[in-house]
Amino acid sequence: MTLVHRDGPVLRITFNRPQVLNAVTSTVLDDLTDLLTETGEDPEVRVVVLAGAGRAFSSGADLTTPSDRPPAATLHAANRVIRALGAIPQPVVAAVHGPAAGVGCSIALAADLVLASSNAFFQLAFVNVGLMPDGGATLLVPANIGRARAMSLAMLGERLPATTAAEWGLIHRVVDADALPDAVDELATRLSRAAPLAVTAAKRAVNAATLGALEDSLKRETEGQTALLGSEDFQTALTAFRDKQTPSFSGR
């Protein structure tokens, strides 16, 4: 489900479920947390690159594949990933092409630098299935682009093109689609040659200054999302999603 490739000081982790646009399950997310935790203890790794195979970075939580785990398991697994991304000393680069939606968007934005192709888009699609943003998105997004823009993304669930995301300051940079691999390699190489102690200190200081309320945000999201996962609206949306229909919400 996840590909891992070591290229000298650069570790590349790739979501590998292209048949479902790299939609993630709790198992995929737990594996990612384990990989990140192990990587954080390896001083020979200087940079981590997160990417997606096929046509997407990640379309979010997998709502179609049957699972013996409750929906909340994905929520808790995603929170562990977000914590791990911030905790490891290495800089993390998200290489985004195609959709980064739902919790896939949250994971991308939890990286330290987001490099996106011109065909990429970011979408807090949760509201479209009767849910609220999670994976730390209620803090990660406004921390970058402010309350007004964050509120519009959270409440309207619309796609944000990568070019606009870059203009707003949500991501580091956008490049032409065919230039993304080389741009990622160039950025990863530059980071791998930087002073590692300085990079780690900068990451920790900036995160402390801007994301110090992350645990509170994750707690609020978990409480709110858990309630929404049990709502009639979510069940309606889930059925509509699987039937490729538009849900009609009742507010229950």
| pLDDT averaged per 10 residues, the chain (length 252) | 95 98 97 98 98 98 83 95 98 98 98 98 97 98 98 98 98 98 98 98 98 98 97 94 92 96
- 227 is a domain residue: no
The pLDDT of residue 69 is 83
CATH number, domain containing residue 94: 3.90.226.10
- 53 is a domain residue: yes
- pTM recorded for the entire structure: 0.97
Q: How many residues does the chain have?
A: 252
67-84: per-residue pLDDT in tens?
778 889 999 999 999 999
- 212 is a domain residue: no
Query: CA 134 to CA 94: how far, in whole Å?
Result: 18
- 185 is a domain residue: no
The pLDDT of residue 236 is 95
- 237 is a domain residue: no
Please give the full DSSP string across 109-177, using - where no structure is assigned: HHSSEEEEETT-EEE-GGGGGT----TTHHHHHHHHH-HHHHHHHHHH---EEHHHHHHHTSSSEEE-G
- 204 is a domain residue: no
Nearest-Å Rg of the Cα atoms of the chain is 17
43-61 burial by CB neighbour count: b if 16+ within 10 A, else e? eebbbbbbbbbbebbbbbb
- 129 is a domain residue: yes
For 101, residues 6+ apart whose C-beta sits below 8 A from its C-beta are 58, 59, 60, 121, 122, 123, 124, 125
Query: CA 29 to CA 82: how far, in whole Å?
Result: 10
Number of structural domains the chain divides into: 1
Provide the residue range defining the domain that includes 75: 2-177
For 126, residues 6+ apart whose C-beta sits below 8 A from its C-beta are 102, 132, 133, 134, 154, 157
The pLDDT of residue 68 is 73
The pLDDT of residue 66 is 75
- 117 is a domain residue: yes
